[in-house]
Amino acid sequence: MILGVHHATFLCRDLARSRAFYEGVLGLHSDPARPQMSFDGVWYNLAHGQQIHLMQLPDPGAGLTRPAHGGRDRHVAFVVSNLADLKHALEAAAITCRMSQSGRRALFCHDPDQNALEFIEAMA
């Protein structure tokens, strides 16, 4: 039985560029206790023991065309406290984002390596 999500992993070509997005735009803080691996990367701790792991490795799907709307592609959905603040931060960083087509309080964007991300506003 699945109990939750431990971590989501995203491949990146340029770790510095990806860190600028995940830290500078999304406001995450790296975990300095990341274990040494044979490739560069970074871990971000989220609530409830969940993590995001960036791995600087070649993308086996490079060259494929991704759908413009992340909701029509494989993606990970994250809960955020304030969708309007996130939308403002994405737009200020010139990151294209689209509201959910279902009418839910959610938006989609792509990270610098075209990984689709969904953000859903937490219910009060």
What average pLDDT score do residues 55-65 get?
89
* Average pLDDT for 1-24: 92
**What pLDDT sits at residue 64?**
85
Q: Is the per-residue pLDDT at 31 higher than 80?
A: yes
Residue 124 confidence (pLDDT) above 70:
no
- Is residue 56 over pLDDT 90? yes
Mean pLDDT of the 93-110 span? 92
Q: Between 9 and 68, where is the model more confident?
A: 9
Domains 7-56 and 70-121 equal at CATH topology level: yes
Q: Where are the domains of the chain?
A: 7-56, 70-121
Q: Is the pLDDT of residue 120 over 90?
A: yes
What is the architecture, at CATH level 2, of domain 7-56?
Answer: Roll (3.10)
pLDDT band at 62 (very low <50, low <70, confident <90, very high): confident
CA-wise closest residue to 7 among 49, 65, 58: 49
Q: What is residue 44's three-state secondary structure?
A: strand
> Within a 10 A sphere around the Cβ of 76, how many other Cβ atoms?
16
Fold of 70-121: 2,3-Dihydroxybiphenyl 1,2-Dioxygenase; domain 1 (3.10.180)
Report the distance separating Cα 69 and Cα 57, nearest Å.
24
